[in-house]
Amino acid sequence: MNEYNQASTSTASGTTELVWGGVPIPEDWGGDGRGRMNLSGRCTAISSEYVPRQYQFFDTQRISEQAWQIPGVPRQAVAATRRLLSCHDNGASTARVLLPAQFGIPAGRFTADLEIFVLRGAIQMGEWKLGKHCYSFIPAGVRVGPWKVLDDQAAEILWMENNCLQYQDLPNHPKAKMSEFIPGLDSKLLSWGKTDTTQFVVASKKWLRKAVNGGGVWLLTLLPHYDGKQAMIQSYNEEAYCLSGCCDIGDYSFAKDHFGYCPSFSTLPRHISEEGGLFFVRVDRDLSQSGTVLSYAD
C-alpha cells in the first residue's frame, strides 16, 4: 500500500477529513504499485469506462477545456483550465493543464505523488525553473513552491496525479520520500540512450525517472523512415503523448498533441514513421524483462 495516497473518511459529525493511506489501484498484470503511477484500469476522454486490452488514441486539441482548481489551493483571479485525458475512480489522472499568466500556487505539499512535464512556457517552483520539456516528480508529502508562471505568458503542462490529490499548507511530511524527489530535470541536457525492446532497437530514449520496479518515464525519439515491421503485444500499461512529428500506428496517425492510453495486453498494429517523432512515455513495468513486449504477426 502506498502510505502517501489519501482517502476520505466521514466523521461522526458528518464532515470529511483527509487521512494518509489510500487504497492503491490493483495492477492488472500482477504488479505491486512500486512504479508509483497507478496506470491500470483507467478510462479516458473518449471512453467513460475502462476497456481492457483496448488501446485508445485521440487528439487532445479536440477535448474541451474545463475550469480547474487544485483542492486546497486558494482560488485565483484567473482560473487555470485543463483537458482531462485519463482518470481512475481513485483520483489518479493525467491532464493537459493551461496555467494563465500571473497564475501562482503558494508553497505547500500534496497528498499524492505528482509528476509534471512542461509542454510550453515556463514555471518557477521554489528555487527551480522549469522550461519547455522539463520534468519534475514530487512525492507525496514533499513541500515545494511557491509556484508561478514566468515571462507573462501562459504555460502548458502535463499534470499527472497517482491518486486523489489535495494541497496542504504544511511542512514536509515525516514519511515523505525525499530521496525520490526530482525538482527540475531539463531533458535537453540528458543524453540519448538505447531502448529496451527489439521493436524499437533503432529508436533512442532519455530516462526522466526510473522507478524501482524498472518502469518509469522517458522521452522516445523515432528517426525518419522508422518501421517496426510487426504488430506487438504490450504486457504493461502505457501512456504516451506526441511532442513533435508523427507515427502511423496501423491506420491511425499519432501526431503532435495526440495522446495514447494502452492498457496491459493490448495488441498494437505495426508502427511506421516517415518523418520521425518525439514522444513522452510513461510505463509501469520493466520493458527489459522477457515477455513484456512480444512481436506479433497479424
Q: What is the pLDDT of residues 264-279, one digit of tens each?
A: 999 999 999 999 999 9
For residue range 190-214, list pLDDT tens digits in order: 999 999 887 888 899 999 999 999 9
Q: Which residues of the chain have pLDDT under 50?
A: 1-19, 21-22
pTM given for the model: 0.91
CATH number of 189-296: 2.60.120.10
Residues of the chain with CATH 2.60.120.10: 6-186, 189-296
Q: What percent of the chain has pLDDT over 90?
A: 76
For residue range 42-73, list pLDDT tens digits in order: 999 999 999 999 999 999 999 999 999 999 99
Q: Which CATH class is domain 6-186?
A: mainly beta
Query: CB of 62 within 8 A of CB of 52?
Result: no
